[in-house]
Structure formats: structure tokens, C-alpha cells
Amino acid sequence: MRLLFQKLLNGIAIGSVYALFALGYTIVFSILRVINFAHGAIFTVGAYLTYALTGAAFGRNGQLRNASLPLELNFWIALTLGALGAGVLGVIVERLAFKPLRQRGSDPLLTLVSSLGVAIATVNILQYLFGAENYSFGETLGSMPASVTLVGGELPVVIRTKQIVIFAVSMVLVVALTLLVNRTRTGKGLRAVAEDLTTARLLGIDTDRLIRLSFFISGVLGGIAGALIGLAGSFNYQFGVTIGLKGLAVIVLGGLGDIPGAVVGGLVIGVAEAFVPAEYNAYKDAVPFVVLLVVLLVRPQGLLGRAQVQKV
């Protein structure tokens, strides 16, 4: 019983990481019906930005050897600023890789590849500048204990404090996002653009601005995710890649474009991974993709999405 509870906790912990990442993915998809593969790169940049803003130094192996900024901000402040920076990067990516293609009415698959090109370039620029080293954030939780024991005794059920933080943040963010989309005027605009871009434009909605906004939000989310996940472990220039692929499975499971779906999808996949029996641990990595395949074949709209009606 205790084991079950622990596994569930583990699953939720892993799952909130996926969920946090997937939120940014899903926002762009919900507006533009394209997968922004550069999200993984923005996620990584967010982590690097936050790191730089805390005044920490980079290693010796990139072009910018031992570089560090002359300021030393508190982690949470650095995170906020870093996330904003990542948001700006998201807008830049939109300009470069998405807008020209959208104006031409290109196939969304082309946008996918173009965003991938941006991702590859960005991540490798990070390596070129800062080297391939791992970085981590040190003791940012201050006096808070490293782990929390939920059920004591001989075989305690524990969870790391950082995981609690990540879970809390993803919950807060999903609520904030849902409120934004459903309760504000801007959100209404976003929903209109998501429904039909041309009609929205015809109705006088400034679609370009809204698209930029959604990329900005997506970038901010990615940046927060990057810094927090980097906090929980460590990060390097490639750590957005695996999460990026798993993130695809998460958003498909939850329903492409559905915001609460991203969180649900993340948690479900996290729990599924946690419950893989130890003998089959080797296959753990296949879980998100098997889930992805099953969902695509059985219920492509995902758990929370609406069934797509094919219009003739």
C-alpha cells in the first residue's frame, strides 16, 4: 500500500515536469495548429538565461569561457526575468520560422520542420557559446529541507521539495492560463483565432498581435519550465530534446491544443512510467510513445479534446 502511494507520488512528480513542458507546446498548437519544435530549445534557453542572471559562471569549454554576468539575482527573480527573455525569444522564433510560412499558406508540416531547424541551430549555438557542460542551480531552496516525509516509519514515503514546487507551479500556471483563455477579452481573441484565423481577421481582430502573444506566453512557460526542471536536476544544452519528444506524447494524449489536457496528459504519462515494474524498467522510455501510438489509433483527439469532424 505504501509502495503504491510512493509510486503514485513519483508518477505525479515526473508527470508535473512533463505537464509544465507541455503547456507551452499546447498553447501554440491551440492557436495555430502547428507543433512548435523550437519549444524545446526555448525551454533550454530559459534555463541558461536564469542561470546567467543568477550571476553564475559558465564553464571553460565554450567560446565564452568562464563568462558570467556582473549581477547576482535571487533565483526566483532570475527565473522571472529569464522566462520573460524566453518569451521574447519565442516571439523572435515566430517571426523567423512561422510568420513567413503562414503568410504563404504553407503546409503546417513545413512549419514543423522550419521550427525544428531553428531548434537545432539554437541549441547548438548554446553549445558553441557555453560548452557542453552540465550546470545546476545550487541550493536555492535555502533553509527548506531537501525532502518531505509524508508517511513516516521504517519505509517512509518521501518526496523531494523541488518536486512539490514543480507540481505547485504547474497547477498554478494551468489555472492562470485557463482563466486567461476563458475569462479575459484577450483570451476570447485567442479562442477566435484558434477557431478560424481568417474569420477572426475579418472580424477586425488583430490576429498577428494575438499570435505573437501566444508565442510569448508559450516562451515564458517554456522558460519557467526550463529553469524549474533544471533546478530539480541539472541541465545542459541538450536537455530539451528528450523532454521535447515525450512532450509530444503528452499533448496528444491530453488532446492537442487543450490546456488542462496538457496537465492531465503529463500526469497520466508520468504515473504510467512510475508504475512500470522494475524488471521492465528498460522499457520505461517506450511508455510515452506506446501511449502516443495507442491514443492516435484509438482516440486521436486525446482524452480531453473534441473529436475532429472532417469537413468535406
Partner 1 sequence: MLDFLNSQGTIYVSMVLGGVLGLSLYLPLLAGQLSLASPGFYALGGFVAAVLSTKTFDVEGTYPIHLVLVELVVAAAICGVLAFVVGLAALRLTGIYLALATIAFVEVLRVFTLNLELTGGAVGIFAIPQPFGTQLSYLWLAGPLLIAAALFTWRLEKVRVGRAFAAVREDELAAASMGVDTTRAKITAFVLGGVLAGLAGVIAAHQINTWSHRQASFDASIAYLAFVLIGGTRTFLGPVAGGLFLTYLPEWLREQAKHEFLPAWAAEFLRTGRFIIYGVLLAASCVFFPRGLITPELLRRIKRIGRGGSRPPGQNIRPEPEVVA
Partner 2 sequence: MSSSRAQGGQAGKTAGQPDADAGAGQQVSGDAVLLGIAVAETSNVALLGQEEVIGARIAEKLLNASGGVNGRPVKLLFQDTGGDEIGAINAFQAVINAGVLGIVGPTLSQQAFAADTRAEAAGVPVLGPSNTAKGIPQIGKFIGRVSAGVDVVAPLAVEQALKLNPAIKRVAVAYAQNDAFSSSETKIFQATVKKKGLDLALVQRFQTSDTDFTSQVTNIVGSRPQLVIVSGLAADGGNLVRQLRELGYKGLVIGGNGLNTTNVLPVCGRFCDGILIAQAYSPAVDNPINKAFVAAYSEQTGNQPPQFTAQTFTGVQVFVDALRRLDKAKRLETMDLKTLRSELNSAVLTGTYETPLGTIAFDPEGEIKQQKFYVAQIKMDAGGKGGRFVLTN
Residues 231-270 that bind partner 2 (CB under 8 A): 232-234, 236-239, 241-242
Give start and end residues of each alpha helix (H) in 132-258: 161-183, 185-195, 197-202, 207-232, 239-254
The answer to whether residue 72 forms part of the interface with partner 2 (CB under 8 A) is: no
The answer to whether residue 68 forms part of the interface with partner 2 (CB under 8 A) is: no
130 touches, from partner 1, partner 2, none (C-beta below 5 to 8 Å by class): none
129 touches, from partner 2, partner 1, none (C-beta below 5 to 8 Å by class): none
Burial zone of 16 (CB within 10 Å; 0-12 exposed, 13-18 middle, 19+ buried) = buried
Q: Which residue stretch of 87-95, 134-142, 180-188, 207-215 sits at the interface with partner 2 (rule: CB under 8 A)?
A: 134-142
Q: State how far the Cα of 98 lies from the Cα of 96, in Å rounded to an integer.
A: 6
The answer to whether residue 301 forms part of the interface with partner 2 (CB under 8 A) is: no
> Which positions from 184 to 223 touch partner 2 by CB under 8 A, shown as an x/- string?
----------------------------------------
Q: Which is nearer to partner 1, 5 or 280 (CB)?
A: 280
The answer to whether residue 278 forms part of the interface with partner 2 (CB under 8 A) is: yes
Binding site for partner 1 (CB under 8 A): 34-35, 63, 96-97, 100-101, 104, 106-125, 128, 241, 245, 248-249, 252, 282-283, 285-286, 289-290, 292-293, 296-297, 300, 310, 312
Angle of CA points 34, 39, 89, to nearest 5°: 110
Task: Provide the minimum distance between the beta carbon of 162 and partner 2 in the complex, in angstroms, as a whole number.
Answer: 8
DSSP string, 80-116: HHHHHHHHHHHHHHIIIIIHHHHHTT--HHHHHHHHH
Per the structure block, which three cell numbers stand in for 116?
525544428
Burial zone of 26 (CB within 10 Å; 0-12 exposed, 13-18 middle, 19+ buried) = buried
100 touches, from partner 1, partner 2, none (C-beta below 5 to 8 Å by class): partner 1
Task: Return phi, psi of residue 179, to 5°.
Answer: -60, -45
Q: State how far the Cα of 90 lies from the Cα of 93, in Å rounded to an integer.
A: 5
The answer to whether residue 10 forms part of the interface with partner 2 (CB under 8 A) is: yes
Give the H/E segment covering residue 255.
none
What Rg do the C-alpha atoms of the chain give, in angstroms? 20
The answer to whether residue 300 forms part of the interface with partner 2 (CB under 8 A) is: no
Per the structure block, which three cell numbers stand in for 184?
479575459
Residues that bind partner 2 (CB under 8 A): 3, 6-7, 9-10, 13-14, 17, 60-61, 124, 127, 131-136, 138-139, 146-147, 155-156, 158-160, 163, 229, 232-234, 236-239, 241-242, 273-274, 278, 281-282, 284-285
